[in-house]
């Protein structure tokens, strides 16, 4: 009888741990963004320290510890991969369209500042590189 009680307590504890883990995972996924998106740069774009040529890119939102990181990979060709830290900033409502915000630097290069993807409820704001 004691064995049955111990087994019952273990099953309840495992169920509780499973619920807590799945809730934490759901909270991480509930950032209001997709993990993978696409972006097209009509002209070369500096992303972090990398100057990406014009073209289509897969953009993956990843986590490195507690930091949000965006990884840019060319859909075609051999463009370099770019990784840059970002901050998620909540939007007042779901984005109605994609938006790429950049500034020109002293070398007249476009430097990526923000990305918004249609349907997301947060925008990606990138750290500036000095």
Provide DSSP, 11-52.
HHHHHHHHHHHHHHHHHHH-SSS-SEEEEEESS-EEETTEEE
Domain holding 62, by residue range, is 36-126
Please state, rounded to an integer, the average pLDDT across all residues of the chain.
Answer: 80
> What is the reported pLDDT for 39?
95
Indicate if 56 and 95 belong to the same structural domain. Answer: yes
Does one domain contain both 8 and 22? yes
**Residue 106 and residue 63 share a domain:** yes
Look at residue 31 and tell me whether its pLDDT is greater than 70. Answer: no
Is there a contact between 112 and 120 (Cβ–Cβ < 8 Å)? no
Give yes or no for a contact between 116 and 91, defined as CB atoms under 8 angstroms apart.
yes
> Using one digit for the tens of pLDDT, what is the confidence trace for 106-120?
999 999 999 999 999
Q: Do residues 80 and 23 share a domain?
A: no
Total tally of structural domains belonging to the chain: 2
93 and 122 assigned to the same domain:
yes
Q: How many CB atoms lie within 10 A of CB 59?
A: 19
My answer on whether 26 and 40 are in the same domain is: no
What is the distance, to the nearest Å, from the Cα of residue 114 to the centroid of all Cα atoms in its chain? 12
């Amino acid at each position: 009888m004691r064995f049955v009680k111990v087994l019952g307590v273990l099953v309840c504890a495992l169920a509780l741990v499973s619920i807590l883990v799945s809730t934490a995972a759901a909270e991480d996924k509930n950032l209001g963004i997709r993990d993978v998106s696409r972006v097209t740069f009509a002209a070369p774009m500096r992303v972090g320290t990398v100057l990406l040529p014009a073209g289509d890119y897969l953009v993956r939102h990843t986590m490195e510890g507690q930091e949000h990181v965006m990884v840019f990979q060319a859909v075609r060709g051999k463009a370099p991969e770019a990784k840059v830290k970002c901050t998620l900033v909540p939007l007042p409502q779901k984005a109605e369209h994609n938006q790429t915000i950049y500034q020109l630097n002293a070398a007249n290069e476009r430097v990526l500042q923000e990305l918004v993807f249609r349907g997301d409820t947060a925008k990606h704001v990138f750290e500036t590189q000095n």
